[in-house]
């Protein structure tokens, strides 16, 4: 190997920097009423609102959006679920102001869950956080607990951590199990590690797979290897295949257990997990099985794993194949991996001036 890896950032394994997914608001979906209500040829009134609403759903599913919109608008003259479905259709077409009007009409006609989607539009699409807050509060006051959860997300997004924590805790008190995950992520970001760990444990005990995996990653990164191993084994026992990656990462750092790490990565590949080929490649490189490592990097790239672009570039650099290394590091940078920028500059300096 010709490169000096000590002067560069180590290759990254998928799953090592996994963080909580934040600001993923809850949405309500339209109920698909598939009952066929025929309108006979002697019916003087034509299709009723329920028939038009069902027709709009079928048009939308078939991609006939103009006809779907017309059907929902015709059905919405009497309010209700057609307004809700119209709002969802308009939002999918990025007609956010019109969608907001439709959701408001649905909410005012008794579809209280529409307040949640209305708040989401104001928060995420229309940049109107004050209106979003009012919509979420209206949803919660109408009995929609997701309004409170999304209000917590809005507070957190706006930097109001105290209000966010209060909203999540209130949601937990009302029986929302998913709020444990959100509260744990907030507490972790605030550096309240013990409190975060407790909330992740609550979430995991309630069946949240993400929380169990996050605990494993936290323990692994903190050097609490025995606890991490216990968590990953528990996750695998529960049938959570994603634990193959985290457990493999943990064992890959232990020279005497790299054969176990290899087995775990291969199980991840069989399970179709993103990152399996990349992580196996980095391990095989560490084991100086370079031909096998390169094949795994290429398989990762064939599978569309952009995460492998930088790692393969560094691998090629270490092998002295500088021009090809430059190509892959450039691709990594273009794919959004900012770490590749400094490495690319260093590589080009090493390559020297070119005609």
Kindly report the three-state secondary structure assignment for every residue of 100-129.
HHHHHHHHHCCCCCHHHHHHHHHHHHCCCH
Confidence at residue 227, expressed as pLDDT on a 0 to 100 scale = 97
Domain that holds residue 263: 223-292
Domain end, chosen from 50, 82, 112, is at: 112
Q: Which residues of the chain have pLDDT under 70?
A: 1-56, 59, 71-72, 75-80, 355
Confidence at residue 65, expressed as pLDDT on a 0 to 100 scale = 80
Domain end, chosen from 292, 315, 345, is at: 292
Host H or E run for residue 31? none
In a domain, 23, yes or no: no
- Residue position matching structure tokens 């528990």: 234
In a domain, 165, yes or no: no
**Quick one: 286 and 326 in the same domain?**
no
Confidence at residue 49, expressed as pLDDT on a 0 to 100 scale = 61
- Evaluated on CA atoms 247, 249, 250, 254, the torsion sign reads positive
**Quick one: 105 and 34 in the same domain?**
yes
User: Taking the CA of residue 295 as centre, how many other CA atoms within 13 Å lie in the half-sphere pointing to its CB?
Assistant: 5
In a domain, 171, yes or no: no
**Quick one: 39 and 102 in the same domain?**
yes
Q: Which residues contact 118 (CB under 8 A, 6 or more apart)?
A: 87, 100, 103, 104, 107, 135
DSSP 243-295: HHHHHHHHHHTSGGGHHHHHHHHHHHHHTT-TTHHHHHHHHHHHTT-HHHHHH
- Evaluated on CA atoms 291, 293, 296, 300, the torsion sign reads negative
Q: What is the CA radius of gyration of the chain?
A: 26
Q: What values do phi and psi take at 174, rounded to 5?
A: -90, 0
In a domain, 138, yes or no: no
Confidence at residue 319, expressed as pLDDT on a 0 to 100 scale = 97
In a domain, 250, yes or no: yes
- Residue position matching structure tokens 């529960």: 238
Domain end, chosen from 94, 112, 130, is at: 112
- Where residue 81 sits, what CATH number does that domain have? 1.25.40.10
- Residue position matching structure tokens 């805790």: 169
In a domain, 230, yes or no: yes
Overall domain count for the chain: 3
- Evaluated on CA atoms 35, 38, 43, 47, the torsion sign reads positive
In a domain, 181, yes or no: no
In a domain, 331, yes or no: yes
Q: Angle at CA 291, nearest 5°, toward 5 and 302?
A: 95
- Evaluated on CA atoms 137, 142, 148, 150, the torsion sign reads negative
CA distance linking residue 336 with residue 22, whole number of Å: 20
**Quick one: 73 and 96 in the same domain?**
yes
């Amino acid at each position: 190997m010709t490169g000096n890896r000590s002067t560069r950032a180590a290759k990254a394994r998928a799953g090592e920097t996994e963080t909580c997914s934040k600001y993923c608001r809850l949405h309500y979906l339209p109920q698909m009423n598939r009952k066929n209500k025929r309108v006979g040829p002697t019916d003087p009134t034509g299709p009723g609102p329920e028939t038009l609403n069902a027709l709009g759903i079928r048009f939308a599913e078939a991609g006939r959006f103009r006809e779907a919109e017309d059907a929902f608008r015709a059905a919405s003259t009497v309010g209700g679920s057609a307004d809700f479905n119209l709002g969802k259709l308009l939002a999918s077409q990025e007609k956010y102001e019109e969608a907001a009007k439709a959701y408001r009409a649905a909410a005012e006609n008794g579809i209280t869950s529409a307040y949640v989607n209305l708040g989401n539009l104001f928060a995420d699409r229309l940049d109107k956080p004050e209106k979003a807050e009012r919509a979420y509060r209206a949803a919660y006051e109408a009995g929609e607990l997701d309004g409170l959860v999304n209000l917590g997300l809005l507070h957190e997004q706006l930097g109001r951590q105290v209000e966010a924590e209060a909203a999540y805790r209130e949601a937990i008190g009302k029986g929302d199990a998913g709020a444990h995950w959100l509260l744990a992520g907030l507490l972790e970001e605030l550096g309240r590690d013990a409190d975060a760990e407790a909330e992740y444990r609550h979430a995991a005990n309630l069946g949240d797979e993400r929380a169990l995996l996050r605990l494993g990653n936290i323990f692994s990164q903190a050097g609490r290897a025995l606890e991490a191993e216990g968590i990953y084994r528990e996750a695998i026992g529960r049938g959570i295949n994603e634990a193959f990656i985290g457990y493999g990462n943990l064992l890959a750092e232990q020279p005497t257990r790299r054969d176990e790490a290899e087995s775990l990565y291969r199980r991840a590949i069989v399970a179709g997990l993103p990152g399996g080929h990349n992580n196996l490649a980095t391990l095989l490189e560490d084991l100086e099985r370079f031909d096998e490592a390169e094949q795994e990097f290429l398989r990762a790239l064939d599978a569309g794993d952009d995460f492998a672009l930088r790692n393969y570039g560094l691998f090629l650099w270490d092998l002295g194949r500088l021009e090809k290394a430059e190509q892959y590091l450039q691709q990594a940078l273009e794919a959004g991996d900012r770490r590749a920028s400094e490495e690319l500059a260093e590589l080009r300096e090493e390559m020297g001036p070119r005609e």
